Structure formats: C-alpha cells, structure tokens
Chains A and B, each alone.
Chain A
Amino acid sequence: MRPRWRSNPIGIIFISLIVCAVLIGLSATGILRPVEGIAAAPINFITGIFNRAQLSISSALGESADIISLRNRIYDLEEQLAIIQAENIGLREIASDYERLADLLSYTSAAQDEELVTAEVIGLDTQSSIRSIIINQGTRSGIEVGMPVVTQLGLVGRIIDVSANAAHVQLVTDQNSAISGRLQNSRAEGSVVGRGLTNGILEMQHIPVDSEITEGELVVTSGLGGNLPPDLVIGQITSYRDFEFELSQSAQLRSLIDFNTLEFVLVITNFEPADISVFDEEDNNGQAP
C-alpha cells in the first residue's frame, strides 16, 4: 500500500517545496558548493562544446565572402585602436601619477606585475535577467571569489562564484554590479553601475557637479573600496546629463567589449580584494551601548 502522501497531490507538492527550501538554504550558505561543482562539470563541458560551435556558426553565417576581409580589417583596426587607447590611458595615468608623486619625496612605484590566468567562456547565465558568464577555470587554477576579470580591451567583471573547474563572472553590465570609476581627464570619481537589463550599457552616477565631462572620454577603475585594481578600462562616455537642480551628474558609458561574443578572458589572480568588513564590525561594536 502506498503511503498516503504519495496519492495526495498537495502532499507531493508540499514535500517537494520543503526539499526545495532545504536545497536553497544549503546552496545559499555554500555548503553544497562542492556537490554543485561536481554536478555542473559534465554540463559545463557540453556547454563549452555548444558555445564554441555556436560562435563558429554565427560568425560563419554572418559573414559573406565579399565583406569578410573588410570586416576583419575593421575588427583589427578597432582592436588596435582599443589597445592603443588602453595603452594611452596607462601612459597618461603613469604620467599624471608621476607628476603628482614627483612632488612627494616618498615616491613609491604603484606598478605591480599582474599574474593572469586565461579562461575560456563556456556559457552564459541561464537566467535572462542576470548578466554573468561561466568560465572553464576554477579553484584548481587559483581562482577565488572577488578576483577581477579582464580582456585586453578592459574590465569584464568580477568572480562571484567558483567551483573546482568553473567560475561565474558577474559582468560589469549586470544590474547589481557597481564599481568605483574615475574619469580619465578630469579625474572625477563616481559609481559605475550596470544597465545590462534595461539598455545594455553602463551608467556612471554621482559625478561631482563641478567636474567637466567630455563625450568619448574613457572611464577607468579608481581602486576605491579595494574591490578592483585601479586603472582598468571600464568604458567610454557616450552621453551625459547635467541638470542644474541636481547635486551630481551622470553619464552613459559604452564598454569596448562585446559581451555576447566573448571567447577568452583573463583573471587577475594576484589581486586580493580588500576586506573592509572588519571596519563595519568595529563600527558596530563602537556604536553598541
């Protein structure tokens, strides 16, 4: 004889929902992470194969014989331009750093060699509202949560979840992404938030009202907050809004990276995000009666 709950639809659904709640709780606390990593490994492998095939097919379909060379040339030039722009920023940053720091006797070089791990993009997040990618490197390659992910064109995002052989990268365009940014020319700082869901671009908010913004100006990471290294290219200003009655300005940004066709990324593994939570705890302790 079957147990009573097995013939009762409400009982089946109720027990299933309890199982789900337990699963969600265990997963959210990270207890299931090793199991999830093992279970996701074969799926990630298949997804990687499909993703490569899909990228090859879409590029083959989209290019006719006549325009292929022209398009490649444009891509090459755009890539070179972006690389030169990125190098130019680096040089300008170094120059402006030098000018400021040369005035100080206690000059120390801020430059540090970056250790990079190359990873292949094997898929996108299955939730359409989340802008994240899955890469084929994980803890076995030294990848940890919080590490920055870049390409030669600039910042891609941050590692937010990692298993043994794979990791999820939250893209800068995700609605929940917020990065401290700095305008290259005026050096004004602001917060760059993702607008991937609404219009696929980035927005820099809280720019001081007296700062001068120019279209085409590049925005780089400021390093404030210690979550990301400074001077990584985030994007280029496409438009800005400056109303007299507002206390700050905001600007629309376009990333130099096409996130839909990303194939390879670099993870900066020797950057350790600063843990500022200790200050919060100290503050809380200080405020406690």
Chain B
Amino acid sequence: MGYYISLPVLILAAVLQSSLMGQLRIAGGAPDFVLLIVLLWSIHAPLNEAVFWAFVGGIVTDLMSIIPLGSSVVGMLLMIYLIKRLSVQLFRINIVLVAGFVLLGTVIQISVTHLILAFTGFGLLPGDIFQYVIIPELFYHLLLFLPIYLVMRGVQQRIYPEPGTRL
C-alpha cells in the first residue's frame, strides 16, 4: 500500500514546491517538501519501500528542475541508509531523534545535490550554499517536520497495523 500512495503524495508535494517556491523563499532558501516527506516516511517504512519513495520523489523533483534526472535520488538514498543504520541501534525513535534525522538528511541532500550540480556546470560557492541554501532550508524543515511527521505516522499506522522499523 505504501508503494501506491507514494506517487500522488510526492507529485502533489513537488507541484506545491514548484508553485509556491517564489512565495516561500527566505534569504534565498525554500522548503523541500519532497525531501521532508521521503525522509519522514522512511523512518518507519521498510527499506525497499523507502528506496522506492526516494526514487519516486527524486525523479519527480528532477523532472521539474534543470538538474539531471536522478540527482536528487542519490542524496535521499544516502539519507535513508544512514537513518536505517542508526535506527536499528536505537531502542525507540522519539521526536528529538526525528529532528536530528531531518537536520542530517537536509544537509546530506543539499550537499550531494550541489556536488552533482557543480559537475554539470551549475556549481555555487560552498559558503553561499551554506548561508543561502542550507541554513534557510534547515529553518523551514525544523518548522514543518512535526506536523508532516504526525500525518505520515498516522497514515503508516493505518497501513501497517504493527508499527516498527523493518530493515
């Protein structure tokens, strides 16, 4: 079931991101709804499903951008791998840990995407990326992650009667 709902949810997120980008910019940066949704879904989803969400989310994002197809998926995959590795070593996942995953995932995603952008001729200075992309995006993600996480968690608990991280 988790596979089927990924497409409408992530397309809607990407469309909102594209439509609202101009209005949501703070100091150059804007929230990445697709990244946030994939990240928060992946925390409690099985690995295969999380990877599927990363592919769908990344490709939908890249289709609406000038960056090469698949660029956004790489960061999401690395992020999912780290989340899964850390999750199996923890007794339970609390909200502070989720916030930590959001911080880590955002930094990984932006770093990897801009590394690929640099190879394709759209590189930016590392200082500019930190100041005008990472900092505003972290601010937005820390502001938005809780309501989105609660919604995602609610949907997952309906889909999976026995919640828990499966690796």
Give residues in A with beta carbon < 8 Å to B. 6, 9-10, 12-13, 16-17, 19-28, 32, 36, 39-40, 43-44, 46-47, 50-51, 53-54, 58, 123-130, 132, 134, 160-161, 168, 170, 175-176, 196-198, 200, 259-261
Contacts and interface: CB of A to CB of B under 8 A. Distances in A.
B70 A24 contact: yes
Contact of B28 (A13, A27, A129): A129
Given A23-B70, A126-B34, A260-B23, A198 B64 contact: no
Interface in B130-155: 132-133, 136-137
B70 A27 contact: yes
Interface string B17-32: 1111111010011101
Contacts of B23: 54, 58, 260
A129 to B, nearest CB: 5
B124 A9 contact: no
A27 B69 CA distance: 6
A9 B84 contact: yes
B119 to A, nearest CB: 8
Contact of B19 (A39, A40, A51): A51
24 contacts: A12-B51, A13-B78, A20-B70, A23-B70, A24-B71, A25-B68, A27-B70, A36-B63, A51-B19, A54-B20, A124-B18, A125-B18, A126-B32, A126-B64, A127-B61, A127-B113, A127-B117, A129-B28, A130-B65, A130-B66, A176-B121, A197-B128, A198-B132, A260-B25
Contacts of A39: 59, 63
Contact of B116 (A6, A24, A26, A125): A24
Contacts of A58: 23
Contact of B64 (A9, A43, A170): A43
Given A20-B77, A40-B64, A175-B128, A128 B30 contact: yes
A43 B60 contact: yes
Contacts of B15: 43, 46-47, 50, 123
A51 B21 CA distance: 10
A19 B11 CA distance: 21
Contacts of A17: 74, 77
Given A43-B11, A197-B132, A128 B21 contact: yes
Contacts of B129: 129
Contact of B18 (A6, A23, A123, A175): A123
B51 A124 contact: no
B16 interface: yes
A32 B59 CA distance: 12
A215 B132 CA distance: 28
B37 interface: no
Contacts of A16: 51, 54-55, 73, 77
B96 to A, nearest CB: 24
B69 A47 contact: no
Interface string B73-96: 110011011001100000000000
